[in-house]
Amino acid sequence: MPRTKFIAGNWKMFTTAQSGRELAAAVVKGCAGWSRVRVAVCPPFPYLNVVGEVIRGTPVALGAQNVYPADEGAFTGEVSPAMLKDVGCRYVIVGHSERRHILGETDPLISSKVQVALTSGLDVILCVGETIFQRKSGQTEAVLDTQLTGGLRGVKGDQAERLTIAYEPVWAIGTGVNATPDQAQESHLFIRRRCADLLGPEIAANLTIQYGGSVKPENAASIMAQPDVDGALVGGASLKADSFLAIVRAAMA
């Protein structure tokens, strides 16, 4: 069975209630009648509800950008998996490089988020990727290995069906410099092989591995044509319906 492509829009700390509502409505309209691609949008926390109302009952799914690894408690400023489920989220992004590098998230924290989110019934998009320094010094595979081993610790086989990996080289995020199709394929193949060791060959064969980092309508098709690239996690280009929908269209090619 070929893997279904999955395009997710990571809106980061952009949009307003009004612009988020309009963007979501345009995405829903543009995706009407398309069923061959999985599509999700991930607005900021305060807009999950408003965007959720717009996309409810449509094929466009709701995702969050972060989660705290506990059901509830005295964790000021944090949001639990149950709360995300309650407002209609299917997905949550965990371990985004902006959270690793700007907010200081570590692999053990990321691992507990992955586990608690999966146990709570959320589908997890786990982000991994190397910095430019790590790539230039030949550490790409070692970094991916550490992030996968750390992030997937304790994940059980049946839970892994709700897991997506997003390969997001840090040097490609928001820079306009995307990985070439060959660079993406090389890393994706490495990730799939490592996931075969960690989760089993069957899970790895069915695992969705998205590419993220300056995905645009102009480069989406060639990157997603690679055999181990199963979609995209899109930042900047997901903030405009036209460019996001062009990427969704490229995934159907």
Q: Could you say whether residue 168 binds ligand PGA (CB under 6 A)?
A: yes
- Please work out the total of residues on this chain that contact ligand PGA, with binding judged by CB under 6 A: 13
Nearer to ligand PGA, 20 or 203 (CB): 20
Q: Could you say whether residue 235 binds ligand PGA (CB under 6 A)?
A: yes
Interface residue with ligand PGA, options 236, 243, 248, 251 (CB under 6 A): 236
Nearer to ligand PGA, 152 or 234 (CB): 234
Q: Could you say whether residue 234 binds ligand PGA (CB under 6 A)?
A: yes
Catalytically annotated residues: 96, 168
Q: Could you say whether residue 10 binds ligand PGA (CB under 6 A)?
A: yes
To ligand PGA, the closest distance from the beta carbon of 214 in angstroms equals 4
Choose the binding region for ligand PGA from 14-22, 26-34, 71-79, 207-215 (rule: CB under 6 A). Answer: 207-215
Q: Could you say whether residue 219 binds ligand PGA (CB under 6 A)?
A: no
Choose the binding region for ligand PGA from 32-40, 73-81, 109-117, 168-176 (rule: CB under 6 A). Answer: 168-176
Q: Could you say whether residue 210 binds ligand PGA (CB under 6 A)?
A: no
Choose the binding region for ligand PGA from 44-52, 73-81, 145-153, 228-236 (rule: CB under 6 A). Answer: 228-236
Can you say whether residue 214 is alpha, beta or left, with left for phi > 0 and alpha for psi between -120 and 50 degrees?
Answer: left
Which parts of this chain interact with ligand PGA (CB under 6 A)? 10, 168, 173-174, 212-215, 233-237
